[in-house]
A and B are shown apart, each in its own frame.
Chain A
Amino acid sequence: MEFLLASAVGVMTAAGVYLLLRARTFTVVLGLALLSYATNVFLFAMGRLVIDQPPVISALAKGYSDPLPQALVLTAIVISFAMTAVVVVMALRSFLESGTDQGMLEPVPHTTPSAGAEVAEGSR
C-alpha cells in the first residue's frame, strides 16, 4: 500500500512538472493542479498510512490516524483551490489582454515602461 501511495505521488509530481514546463498557460494551470494533489497527498502521508481509524474520538475505536497532517492538508486543499482559481483567472485575463496564451513576455528593455504598466492603463 505504501508503495502504491509513494509511486502515485511520484507519478502525479512528474506529470505536474512536465505540464508546468509547457508553453501555454492553461496547461501550466493543469500542471499546477496535479502538483497540488501530489503535495497534499505527500503532506497527508507524513502522518503515515492507517486504515479504518479515522481521528474521530469514540469508545469503540481501535486507534486513530494522525489528525494533525489531516488538518493541515484540509486547509491546504482549500488554499490550493484558491490558488488554482487565481492562476486560471490570470491566464484568462492575460489571454484577453494579449490575444495569446503563451507564458512568455516579449523581452522589454528595462528603460521603457514595463508591459505591466501599459496593461494596467489599458484596462481602465
Chain B
Amino acid sequence: MSLVLIVLLPFIGAMLPALMIRAGRNACATTTFSVTLLAFVLLLSHAPAVFRGEVVQAGWDWLPALGLNVNFFLDGLGFFFAGLILGIGLLIITYARFYLSKDDPMGSFYTYLLLFQGAMVGIVLSDNILLLLIFWELTSLSSFLLIGYWKHLPEGRQGARMALVVTGSGGLAMIAGMLVLGDIAGSYELSVILQNGEAIQASPLYVPALLLILAGCFTKSAQFPFHFWLPHAMAAPTPVSAYLHSATMVKAGLFLMARLWPVLAGTDAWFYIVATTGLITMLIGAFIALFKDDLKALLAYSTVSHLGLITMLFGLGTPMAATAAVFHILNHATFKAALFMNAGIIDHESGTRDIKRLGGLLYLMPISATMAMLAAASMAGIPPLNGFLSKEMMLHEVANTAWAGQGWLMGAVATLAACFSVAYSFRYIAHVFFGPARDDYPHKPHDPPAGMWMPPALLVVLVVLIGLFPDTVAGPLVSTVARAVTGGEVLDYHLALWHGFTPALGMSAVAVVIGLVLLRRYGLVRGWWQAGPHPQAKEMFDALIAAAVRMAHTVTHGLHDGSLQRYLALMIGAMVLLGFSVYLGAPSAPGTRVLLPVTLVAATGWLLLVGGCVVVVLQHRQRLQALIAVGVVGLMVSIGFVYLSAPDLALTQISVEVVTVILMLLALNLLPKTTPAEPGRARHLRDGLLALAAGAGVGGAAWAVLTRDAETISGYYLEQAVPGGGGTNVVNVILVDFRGFDTFGEIIVLGIAALVIFALLDGAMHGAVARKLASWVPDQPRAADRHPMMLAVATRLMLPLALMVGFYIFLRGHNVPGGGFIAGLVVAIALIVQYMASGFGWAAQRMKLDYHGMIGWGVLIAATTGLGAWVVGHPFLTSTMWHVDLPVLGELHVASAMFFDAGVFLVVVGATMLALANLSRIGRRAEHLLVNVGPMDVDPSASAARPVEN
C-alpha cells in the first residue's frame, strides 16, 4: 500500500503549501520538502526488494469494465525515475526557497510543483496504461501552470501555451496509440502488455500504434521537429526549468520509450524512426546551442541535443545501447540540473544571463564557478566525469551500427554533434567564468546563500563520484534499471573509465579537439552562422495556430452568423440528409405486424389533429389563433393517449396543455399579437421542402417501426411492479421506484428551468427593461370587468374540490393512473385560476406560498427518501413498504416511494407556479395596475349606488 502512497503523497501534500504560506515562506518550503522527503523515504524503503529484482505491486480496481484500474508497480525502471523525480525534487524545493523573491506567490508555486511531482511519479509507477495517460495529461497541465508561473510576463504565458499545445496534442495522439496497443495486447495492464511483445510486433496495427505513441513521446521529450517548445518554456522560473526541462518532464517521453522498449523496439520501423529522429535532434540541438547567448537558451538546446542522444540510443534497439541510455539519463539529470541551477544563480546574483555581458565570474563567485565548470566539463564529455562515460558508451554503440548499409554515417554524425557539444560546453566555461573580471554588472555578483549553492553542489559531487567510481556508485542501479528496460537480459559489461584504445576514445578525442578549435575561432564560426538561414520555429508555429484559428472562425461564423433561422435550417437539413442517406443505403421490406383497425373515433381525432396543424401553419401570423390551434393538437394528442392505453400520459398531457396555454397567453400579453409577413418566396419554398422532408422522414420511421414486431424489455417491470414496487400502476412504479433516479434528475431539471424563468423575469423588473415596461401601452382593449364575479365565485368554490382531486390523484397514483406529476399540475392549475380570477396582487397577498422553497424542499424530500435506503444498506432509492393498521380506515399500505412522489409533487407545483406567477407579475407591472381591494370588481355586499373603487 505504501506504493500507492508514494504517488498520492504529493497530491495530498499539494494542498499544504497554499495553506502554510500564511505561516511564512520557510514554513511553506519546509512543508513541501517534508512531503517530498516522506515520499522519497517510502520509495527507498522498497530499494532492497527492487535491487533483488522483485516487482512490487499495489492497487485496486477502479473501472474494470473499461480496463481502467488503479494499479501501480515498482521495478528497477520505475524506481530509478521515481528516485530522480523525488530526489531532484528535494534539491529544487530547497533551491526555489531562496530563488523566489518576496513578491512571488510561493504557496501556489509549491502547490503546482507538488501537483507536477505527483503526476510524474504517477506516470513512472503506473501499471495501467490508461491510468498512465491520465497522469501524462496531468503533467502537461501542471507544467503549463509552472511555465506560466510569472503571469505578468508575456513570454511566460506564450511559452506555457506553446508547451501545452505541443505536448497536449502529442498526448492526444498517444491516447489513441495506447488504446490501439491495449487492443492488440488484450489488456491495458503494462505487465501483461510487456509479455506480448511478439504478438504486438506481428500485428498489422503495430506501425500505427508505434507512430501514435512516438508522437506523444517525441513532443514531450522535445524531439525534432517538435523541439521548439522547450527553449520557449525557459521563460519559466529557473527552478522549473531545472526540474521540468532537464531532469523530469522531458524525460517522460524517454521513460515511455524505455518502458515499452521490450514490446516496441527491435524492428526496422523502430530503428529508422527513433534512432534517426534522435540523431537529427542531437545534431541540431547541439548546433543551435553553440550560438545562443542566453545561458538558459544554451542549456535548453543542449538539453534537446542530449534528449536526442538518449532517444537515439533507445532507437538502436540493442540491450547494450539501452543500458547506455539509462546511464546517460542518470548522468544528464545530474549535470544538467546542476547547470540550470547555476544559470539561475548567475542570473540571480549578477542580474543578467546574457553570455555577452558576462565574464570573469570565477573571481567573483568562486564556489558557483567551480561547480559549474565541473558540470559543464561533464556535459562536454571530459574524463574523469560521468558525462564522459556515457558519451563513450554511446559512441561505441553508434560506431558499431550501420544506417541503411552505411557503417560510418551514424558515427560521423554523432561525432560532429559531439564537437558542437564540446564547443558550447566550453563556451559556457570560458565566456562566463574566465576573461577579465567585469564591473559593469547590474548587481555586484557574489556567491549566493548556501541554500542556493548546496543543491547543485550535491549534484556535482555525484557527477565526480560517478565519473571516478562508476561501477561502485552507479553500477548496481544501472544494471537493475537496464534489466527492467530490456526485460531481464543480463549483460556482460562493467562501467569503467578506461576501456583501452577504442574507436570511441578516438571519436571523443577528435570531438574535443575540433570543439576547442571551434571555440577558439568562435567569432569566425559565428559569422558563418549569421550568414546562413535561420528558420524560426516559433513563427511557423504561430502561423499554424493563426491559420487554425482563421479556419475555425470561417467555419463557425459560416454556420452560425447570429441568425437562428440559418442555423436551424442548416442543422435540420443536415439531420434530414443524414437520415435519408442511411435509409437509402439500407434494405427496407414492408413490415408484417398485424395492424389495428381504424375506428371512426380515431379517424375523427386524426382529422382534428391534422386540421389543427394545418391551421397553425396557415394562421401562424395571427398568434392567438395559432395558439388555439396548437391547443387543439395537444388535446388530440392526449385523447390519442387515452385511446392507446396510456391513461397516465393522457392525464399529464391534458394538464400540461392547460398550463402551457396559460403561460403562452401571459407571454403574448406583452409580445406582439401578429407576425409580419416574411418576404421571399424562395425561403418559404426552401423551408417548406425541408419541413416536408423532415415530416416524411419521421413519419416514415414511425410507420416502419409500428409495422414490425418487437421484443420488449418491460416484462421485468410488469412482473415486479407489485411484488417489488408495491403498486399496480406500472408506469408510476417505474417513475418513482425502478427508474427513480431518472425522475430525480428530471425534477431537478424542472426546478432549474423554473429558476431560470424567475431569473429572466426578475431581471426584467430592474434597469432599462423596467423603464421600457413602465412606458408600455396595452395594444389591445381590456375587458371592462377585469375580475368577473362569476369567475371569482366559481374558482373559490372549485379550489377545495380541486385540491382534493389533486390529493386523491396523488394518493392513488401508485395503483391507478395518477401520481405526483399529474397531481402537481392539477393543484397548480387550481391555484393559478385564483390568480386569474382575482388578479395576481390580490391572490399573492393571500396565498403566501414560497415557490422557491417548494422546489427546494421537493428535491430534498426526494433525495432524503433515496438516501433513506442507504441507511438500511440498500442502493439509492430502493423502495420499502409498510403495512399499517389504522383504527377506522383499516389496513393502510404505504410505500416509501410515496414520499419520493411527494417530492416530485412539490417540485412540479413550485416550478409551475413560480413560472406563471412571475409572468403575471411582470404583466401587472407593465399595466401599472394597483392591487385590487376586493376579490372581484363588483362588491355584492355594497349597494349598486356605491361601486367600489380600485
- Residues of A at under 8 Å CB distance from B? 1-24, 26-30, 33-34, 37-38, 40-42, 44-58, 64-68, 70-71, 73-75, 77-79, 81-86, 88-93, 95-97, 99, 101, 103-108, 110, 122-124
Residues in B whose Cβ lies below 8 Å from that of A56 = 647, 728-730, 815-817
Interface residues of B in 593-644 (CB under 8 A from A): 593, 595-599, 602-603, 606, 609-610, 613-614, 616-617, 620, 623, 626-627, 630, 633-634, 637, 640-641, 643-644
Q: Which of B599, B757, B816 contacts A85 (CB 8 A)?
A: B757
- Report, nearest first, the 6 A-B pairs whose CB atoms are least far apart: A10-B699, A14-B695, A103-B564, A105-B562, A82-B753, A6-B703
Residues in A whose Cβ lies below 8 Å from that of B572 = 17, 20-21
Interchain CB contact under 8 A, B694 and A17: yes
Known: A19-B616, A21-B565, A93-B760. A85 touches B915 (CB 8 A): yes
Interchain CB contact under 8 A, A24 and B675: yes
Chain A nearest CB, measured from B902 CB (Å): 16
Q: How far is the CA of A16 from the CA of B754 in the complex (A)?
A: 24
Interchain CB contact under 8 A, B617 and A74: no
Residues in A whose Cβ lies below 8 Å from that of B713 = 68
Q: How far is the CA of A67 from the CA of B613 in the complex (A)?
A: 28
Interchain CB contact under 8 A, B646 and A10: no
Q: Is B710 interfacial (CB-CB < 8 Å)?
A: yes
Chain A nearest CB, measured from B493 CB (Å): 62
Q: Which of B652, B687, B714 contacts A67 (CB 8 A)?
A: B714
Residues in A whose Cβ lies below 8 Å from that of B659 = 81
**Count of A-B contacts judged by CB separation below 8 Å:** 326
Residues in B whose Cβ lies below 8 Å from that of A91 = 667, 671
Identity of the chain A residue whose Cβ is nearest the Cβ of B816 in the assembled complex:
A56
Interchain CB contact under 8 A, A30 and B626: yes
Interchain CB contact under 8 A, A70 and B660: no
Known: A6-B699, A78-B652. A89 touches B706 (CB 8 A): no
Interchain CB contact under 8 A, B649 and A14: no
Identity of the chain B residue whose Cβ is nearest the Cβ of A73 in the assembled complex:
B649
Residues in B whose Cβ lies below 8 Å from that of A75 = 735, 742-743, 746, 821
Interchain CB contact under 8 A, A10 and B769: no
Interchain CB contact under 8 A, B646 and A70: yes
Q: Is B457 interfacial (CB-CB < 8 Å)?
A: no
Q: How far is the CA of A17 from the CA of B620 in the complex (A)?
A: 13
Q: How far is the CA of A105 from the CA of B561 in the complex (A)?
A: 8
Q: Is B881 interfacial (CB-CB < 8 Å)?
A: no
Q: Is B690 interfacial (CB-CB < 8 Å)?
A: yes
Interchain CB contact under 8 A, A49 and B757: no
Q: Mark B727-763, 1 if CB is under 8 A from A, else 0.
A: 0111100110001001100100110011011001101
Q: Is B653 interfacial (CB-CB < 8 Å)?
A: yes
Chain B nearest CB, measured from A115 CB (Å): 9
Interface residues of B in 75-112 (CB under 8 A from A): none
Residues in A whose Cβ lies below 8 Å from that of B722 = 57
Interchain CB contact under 8 A, A1 and B652: no
Interchain CB contact under 8 A, B773 and A74: no
Q: Which of B694, B718, B769 contacts A64 (CB 8 A)?
A: B718
Sample of 29 A–B contacts (CB below 8 Å): A1-B598, A3-B703, A7-B606, A7-B703, A8-B640, A16-B691, A17-B695, A18-B617, A19-B617, A30-B630, A34-B630, A49-B644, A51-B643, A53-B645, A55-B645, A56-B729, A67-B717, A67-B718, A73-B649, A75-B735, A77-B649, A78-B746, A85-B660, A88-B667, A89-B761, A92-B667, A93-B764, A103-B564, A110-B553
Identity of the chain A residue whose Cβ is nearest the Cβ of B754 in the assembled complex:
A82
Q: Mark B914-925, 1 if CB is under 8 A from A, else 0.
A: 010001000000
Residues in B whose Cβ lies below 8 Å from that of A8 = 606, 609-610, 640
Identity of the chain A residue whose Cβ is nearest the Cβ of B659 in the assembled complex:
A81
Q: Which of A3, A49, A71 contacts B731 (CB 8 A)?
A: A71
Q: Mark B900-922, 1 if CB is under 8 A from A, else 0.
A: 00000000100100010001000
Identity of the chain B residue whose Cβ is nearest the Cβ of A4 in the assembled complex:
B606
The CB with the most chain B CB atoms within 10 A, among A7, A79, A122, A124, is that of: A7
Q: How far is the CA of A58 from the CA of B729 in the complex (A)?
A: 9
The A interface, classified by DSSP as helix, strand, loop or mixed, is helix
Interchain CB contact under 8 A, B753 and A85: yes
Residues in A whose Cβ lies below 8 Å from that of B816 = 56
Interchain CB contact under 8 A, B746 and A50: no
Interchain CB contact under 8 A, A51 and B644: yes
Interchain CB contact under 8 A, A86 and B773: no
Q: How far is the CA of A83 from the CA of B676 in the complex (A)?
A: 26
Interchain CB contact under 8 A, A65 and B603: no
Known: A82-B753, A96-B773. A123 touches B735 (CB 8 A): no
Q: Is B568 interfacial (CB-CB < 8 Å)?
A: yes
- Residues of B at under 8 Å CB distance from A? 553, 561-565, 568-569, 572, 593, 595-599, 602-603, 606, 609-610, 613-614, 616-617, 620, 623, 626-627, 630, 633-634, 637, 640-641, 643-649, 652-653, 656, 659-660, 663-664, 667-668, 670-672, 675-676, 678, 687-688, 690-692, 694-703, 705-707, 709-710, 712-714, 717-718, 721-722, 728-731, 734-735, 739, 742-743, 746, 749-750, 753-754, 756-757, 760-761, 763-764, 766-769, 772-773, 815-817, 821, 908, 911, 915, 919
The CB with the most chain B CB atoms within 10 A, among A46, A51, A88, A108, is that of: A88
New contact pairs (9) apart from A3-B598, A5-B706, A12-B609, CB-CB < 8 Å: A19-B617, A21-B687, A37-B633, A44-B646, A78-B652, A92-B760, A93-B760, A105-B563, A110-B553
The CB with the most chain B CB atoms within 10 A, among A5, A28, A84, is that of: A5
Interchain CB contact under 8 A, B728 and A81: no
Identity of the chain A residue whose Cβ is nearest the Cβ of B556 in the assembled complex:
A110
Interchain CB contact under 8 A, A34 and B750: no
Interchain CB contact under 8 A, A77 and B728: no
Interchain CB contact under 8 A, B763 and A123: yes
Interchain CB contact under 8 A, B714 and A13: no
Interchain CB contact under 8 A, B652 and A89: no
Residues in A whose Cβ lies below 8 Å from that of B695 = 10-15, 17
The CB with the most chain B CB atoms within 10 A, among A33, A68, A82, is that of: A82
Q: How far is the CA of A37 from the CA of B764 in the complex (A)?
A: 30
Identity of the chain B residue whose Cβ is nearest the Cβ of A58 in the assembled complex:
B728
Known: A21-B687, A22-B620, A74-B648. A49 touches B596 (CB 8 A): yes
Interchain CB contact under 8 A, B646 and A103: no
Interchain CB contact under 8 A, B563 and A6: no
Chain A nearest CB, measured from B828 CB (Å): 11
Interchain CB contact under 8 A, A123 and B699: no
Q: How far is the CA of A29 from the CA of B735 in the complex (A)?
A: 28
Residues in A whose Cβ lies below 8 Å from that of B672 = 26, 95, 101
Residues in A whose Cβ lies below 8 Å from that of B690 = 17-18, 21
Known: A8-B610, A34-B613, A96-B764. A88 touches B664 (CB 8 A): yes
Residues in B whose Cβ lies below 8 Å from that of A64 = 718, 730
Q: Which of B562, B614, B739 contacts A108 (CB 8 A)?
A: B562
Q: How far is the CA of A22 from the CA of B676 in the complex (A)?
A: 11
Identity of the chain A residue whose Cβ is nearest the Cβ of B769 in the assembled complex:
A96
Chain A nearest CB, measured from B563 CB (Å): 5
Q: Which of A4, A46, A54, A73 contacts B598 (CB 8 A)?
A: A4
Chain A nearest CB, measured from B750 CB (Å): 5
Interchain CB contact under 8 A, A30 and B616: yes
Chain A nearest CB, measured from B520 CB (Å): 54
Chain B nearest CB, measured from A59 CB (Å): 10
Interchain CB contact under 8 A, A57 and B563: no
Residues in B whose Cβ lies below 8 Å from that of A85 = 660, 663, 753-754, 757, 915
Known: A29-B664, A82-B750. A23 touches B565 (CB 8 A): yes
Q: Which of B640, B731, B766, B815 contacts A5 (CB 8 A)?
A: B640
Q: Which of A10, A78, A108, A124 contacts B656 (CB 8 A)?
A: A78
Chain A nearest CB, measured from B204 CB (Å): 41
Identity of the chain A residue whose Cβ is nearest the Cβ of B713 in the assembled complex:
A68
Interchain CB contact under 8 A, A11 and B699: yes
Interchain CB contact under 8 A, A13 and B699: yes
Chain B nearest CB, measured from A82 CB (Å): 4
